[in-house]
Amino acid sequence: MEDDEPVKISLGVARGFDNPEAIDRPVAGLGDPDGHWHKFDALESSEVYARGKAEAYHWAQNRAVMMLYVPVPEETTRHDVEATLRTRELVISAPVAFGGRLSHKIDVDASHWYLDERAGVPFLVVELAKMDEYYNWADVFFSDDDRSPSAAAAAAAEGD
């Protein structure tokens, strides 16, 4: 597959929190409208890897994967999600819009997304399989490639 050939991310296998086949969850919070945080279990061997949050998502990683947790509206179904990725790019265009050039390469065929919920807060989980295992990403996207919701709104306002 060519680096610049876009691929729709397919829906991954749902991994509920009570599913014995489930992978561990990274320590990341999704805020509800009242500002409360809901914690996820740590990814296996993730304590030495960077994690953080951005305007539209939280992220965590371990040696093999970069996980993004994106809060979505309660009524979101798998049919509402529009996600495309390339080896060095991820774009989520619905139900929230963000994306950009990834900091490092990913294995497109091993990456996927699924909808999940924790403590009543729905979210989209995007699991990006790292091309170079054990590499500690400093961030998900290049910092100069800002496609956050507020940047998109500002760009649209400039175009008016």
Tell me what pLDDT residue 119 has. 82
Q: 46-50, long-range: CB within 8 Å, 24+ apart, which pairs?
A: 48/136, 49/136, 49/137, 50/136, 50/137, 50/138, 50/139
Tell me what pLDDT residue 144 has. 60
**Cis preceding-peptide flag for 71 (omega within 30 of 0):** no
In a domain, 30, yes or no: yes
How many Å apart are CA 145 and CA 8, to the nearest integer?
Answer: 21
Tell me what pLDDT residue 44 has. 73
Tell me what pLDDT residue 91 has. 93
Report helix, strand or coil for 155: helix
In a domain, 26, yes or no: yes
In a domain, 1, yes or no: no
In a domain, 76, yes or no: yes
In a domain, 2, yes or no: no
Q: What total of structural domains would you count in the chain? A: 1
In a domain, 81, yes or no: yes
Tell me what pLDDT residue 156 has. 56
Q: Which residues of the chain have pLDDT under 70?
A: 1-42, 144-160
CATH number at residue 104: 2.60.40.790
Token pair belonging to 46: 């993730």
> Which residues span the domain enclosing 136?
7-159
pTM: 0.68
| Average pLDDT score over the chain | 74
Tell me what pLDDT residue 131 has. 96
Tell me what pLDDT residue 151 has. 62
